[in-house]
Each structure stands twice: as structure tokens, then as C-alpha cells.
Amino acid sequence: RKEVEQDPGPFNVPEGATVAFNCTYSNSASQSFFWYRQDCRKEPKLLMSVYSSGNEDGRFTAQLNRASQYISLLIRDSKLSDSATYLCVVSPYGGATNKLIFGTGTLLAVQP
Amino acid sequence: GAVVSQHPSWVICKSGTSVKIECRSLDFQATTMFWYRQFPKQSLMLMATSNEGSKATYEQGVEKDKFLINHASLTLSTLTVTSAHPEDSSFYICSAPQRALDQPQHFGDGTRLSIL
């Protein structure tokens, strides 16, 4: 079983749609969780950290369920510029100074 | 602006060549840096953790004699792919964490390596 699993997609949605991505992780002791965005042939960029209480940043909402070892990302009012691969990332040992385990990513294509 | 600089961005070499990739932290010191590899349509896979002043820690299945890592200063880590072959062609990317635990890791722009 992979340490971090995601639906690879692609998710093809129209502009303005709401789309949700899910992710599961295998190590119950994992400490830190993130969503990164990766554009084609580019480096990953942090989208947001994920906290147990849930957090929101504009059109983006992230949720963490430790009991189910499940992470989600919700994007509301999709824009064309949201088209990218969204990576679910887990840090097994916590803190930003430790290694990151990446999911395979979910490809989002927002259509005009 | 960029906080981690990676060089070169692109490399095309003949099989058997050794290739060195540099990763520099800008405006901060990084005692630890991470090296990842990403094959097409696959996720980033951690290859090794680079530790300033000591030996790198390699992930299972990564040949340390093939992928030489040197972290001689607090701002520079290098990855050398020795005697590269076509199967080593990939996207190599480094990251460096800042000391503050609430700061995310910063990634370099990545190096696209093509071995002919």
C-alpha cells in the first residue's frame, strides 16, 4: 500500500464548478499535512497546510480526519488558472524540517 | 522571490557522463536539504536527505554510489549523478526547510535531466 494515495484523475470541470479531492495516508503517526500545487514541468508550490480543525483560504478549504487518515481539498468557483496537479503531502515526523511524502497527485483541468 | 536556487534547469548529456546539480538556499541557512526525483506522470519520490557536515541519508533502493551528495556548506548541497544512463533521465528537485517550524519547505525550480 502506498504511503499517500490519491485519485489521479483527471478531473475535468467547467469554470465556476466546485471540485473536491481526497487523499488517504497509511502512517497513523503522521504529524503534518499539506496540499501542494504543481504546474506542468514546474516545482511544487505550497497551497496550504492542513489542520485538524480545518482551514480555509479564499476559495480553498482543507480538512483533516485523523481517525480515518483522510485529507480533503475543496475548491469553490473554479478558475481556469486552477488547472494543475494537486499533491497531497504528508510529513511523517512533523515540522517543516522533515521529509515529505508525496501522493501521486490529482490532475485538475478547468474548462472554459 | 525564490528562496531556493537550483542549477542547471536543463541538462542533456551522453550516456556515461556524470552530471552535477546544485541546490542553494538564498538568505537562509539550511542544515538539511532534500533531493527528490520525479518520473513522468509519477509523484515526487524522496531520494535522500542531505545533511550539512555529515553523510547523506539515502532512501531504500537509492544507490549512494550512483547519486553522490555533498553538503559542504550551510547554503549549498550538490547531487552528482555518476555515469548517467538513459534510465536516469528524470526531473530532479531539491527542497530546503527554513528553521521556523511553521514555514514550509521551499523547492528549487528543478533540473530536467535527459541522458541520450
User: What is the rounded CA–CA span in Å between residue B8 and residue B110?
Assistant: 8
User: What is the rounded CA–CA span in Å between residue A83 and residue A105?
Assistant: 13
Residues of chain A found within 8 Å of residue B43, distances taken between Cβ atoms? 4, 87, 102-105
Chain B residue with Cα closest to A45: B107
Q: What is the mean pLDDT of chain A?
A: 91
In this predicted structure, the answer to whether residue B1 has a pLDDT above a threshold of 90 is: no
In this predicted structure, the answer to whether residue B16 has a pLDDT above a threshold of 80 is: yes
Record the cell numbers describing residue B73, joined without a space: 556548506
Q: Which of A6-10, A89-93, B103-107: highest mean pLDDT?
A: A6-10
Q: Which pLDDT band, with edges at 50, 70 and 90, does A92 fall under? A: confident
pLDDT (average), residues A30-45: 89
Give the pLDDT score at A97: 59
User: What is the rounded CA–CA span in Å between residue B79 and residue B71?
Assistant: 9
Give the pLDDT score at B106: 85
B24-79 pLDDT per residue, tens: 999 888 889 999 999 988 889 999 999 998 899 999 999 999 999 999 899 999 99
Q: Flag if A41 and B112 touch (Cβ within 8 Å).
A: yes
In this predicted structure, the answer to whether residue A96 has a pLDDT above a threshold of 60 is: no
Q: What percent of chain A has pLDDT over 90?
A: 67
Q: Which pLDDT band, with edges at 50, 70 and 90, does A71 fall under? A: very high
In this predicted structure, the answer to whether residue A84 has a pLDDT above a threshold of 70 is: yes
Record the cell numbers describing residue B30, joined without a space: 539550511
Give the pLDDT score at A53: 84
Give the pLDDT score at A95: 58
Contact A67, A30 (CB under 8 A): no
Residues of chain A found within 8 Å of residue B107, distances taken between Cβ atoms? 43-45
Give the pLDDT score at B105: 81
